[in-house]
């Protein structure tokens, strides 16, 4: 008889978006001065997407972000973001938990700020694993929590939709042999879709 060790992990990130968490209002000439280098402990080990706010058309300029992505590898993730063509906020896609550097390709014509948006995620397990069950506490917005293979942009092998009733708790035991993730289990969702999620998986 084979013994399977089941582990649990609780994911919770209810921190509101911030327009200037990483870089406060500034006109950098190259490397940005960082106001913070990692997300606060209130994100509970999760990661967020980058947002850039501009006051003018800066579309000829790119911002290169280097840092720690969803996989937890320090300075192993890079994203190049084209600044918006008007005074607005541009939301990028890659999730970061820490920043090593941010560099603009040229000096903006007006001040910019860099923060984090509402896309959330966390790596549950980096290798081969099986999802056995979950307990989900819904946030105030209905939406999907995606359970992805390989990476944050990998194929979603399982989606769980919350009902949008804050603090509504539901649970699921996955039948048979569970859902197999052969290259890591990664969770992505939008802020307020879930307030807390506890997973049970093979360790």
pTM listed for this prediction:
0.93
Q: What's 33's DSSP letter?
A: P
Predicted confidence at residue 146, as pLDDT, reads: 98
Predicted confidence at residue 5, as pLDDT, reads: 81
Predicted confidence at residue 49, as pLDDT, reads: 98
Q: Are 98 and 160 in contact (CB under 8 A)?
A: no
Q: What's 53's DSSP letter?
A: E
d(CA 160, CA 158): 7
d(CA 26, CA 29): 10
Integer Rg of the chain from CA: 18
d(CA 188, CA 139): 15
Every domain of the chain and the residues it spans = 6-12+123-202, 18-117
> 102-135 pLDDT, tens per residue?
999 999 999 999 999 999 999 999 999 999 999 9
Q: What is the pLDDT along the chain (203 residues), one digit of tens a residue?
A: 455 689 999 999 999 999 999 999 999 999 999 999 999 999 999 999 999 999 999 999 999 999 999 988 899 999 999 999 999 999 999 999 999 999 999 999 999 999 999 999 999 999 999 999 999 999 999 999 999 999 999 999 999 999 999 999 999 999 888 999 999 999 999 999 999 999 999 97
Predicted confidence at residue 36, as pLDDT, reads: 98
Predicted confidence at residue 203, as pLDDT, reads: 77
């Amino acid at each position: 008889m084979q013994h399977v060790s089941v582990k649990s992990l609780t994911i919770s990130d209810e921190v509101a978006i911030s327009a200037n968490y990483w870089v406060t209002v500034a006109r950098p000439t190259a490397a940005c001065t960082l106001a913070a280098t990692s997300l606060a402990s209130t994100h509970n080990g999760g990661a967020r997407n980058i947002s850039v706010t501009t006051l003018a058309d800066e579309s000829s300029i790119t911002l290169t972000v280097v840092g720690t992505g969803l996989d937890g590898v320090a300075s192993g993730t890079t994203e190049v973001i084209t600044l918006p063509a008007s005074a607005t906020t541009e939301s990028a896609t890659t999730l970061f938990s820490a920043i090593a550097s941010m560099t603009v390709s040229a000096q903006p014509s007006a001040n910019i700020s860099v923060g984090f948006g509402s896309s959330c995620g966390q790596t549950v397990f980096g290798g081969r694993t099986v999802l056995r069950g979950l307990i989900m506490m819904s946030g105030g917005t209905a939406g999907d929590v995606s359970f992805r293979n390989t990476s944050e942009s990998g194929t979603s092998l399982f989606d769980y939709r919350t009902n949008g009733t804050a603090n509504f708790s539901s649970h699921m035991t996955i039948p048979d042999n569970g859902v197999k993730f052969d290259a890591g289990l990664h969770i992505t969702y939008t802020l307020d879709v879930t307030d807390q999620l506890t997973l049970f998986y093979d360790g």
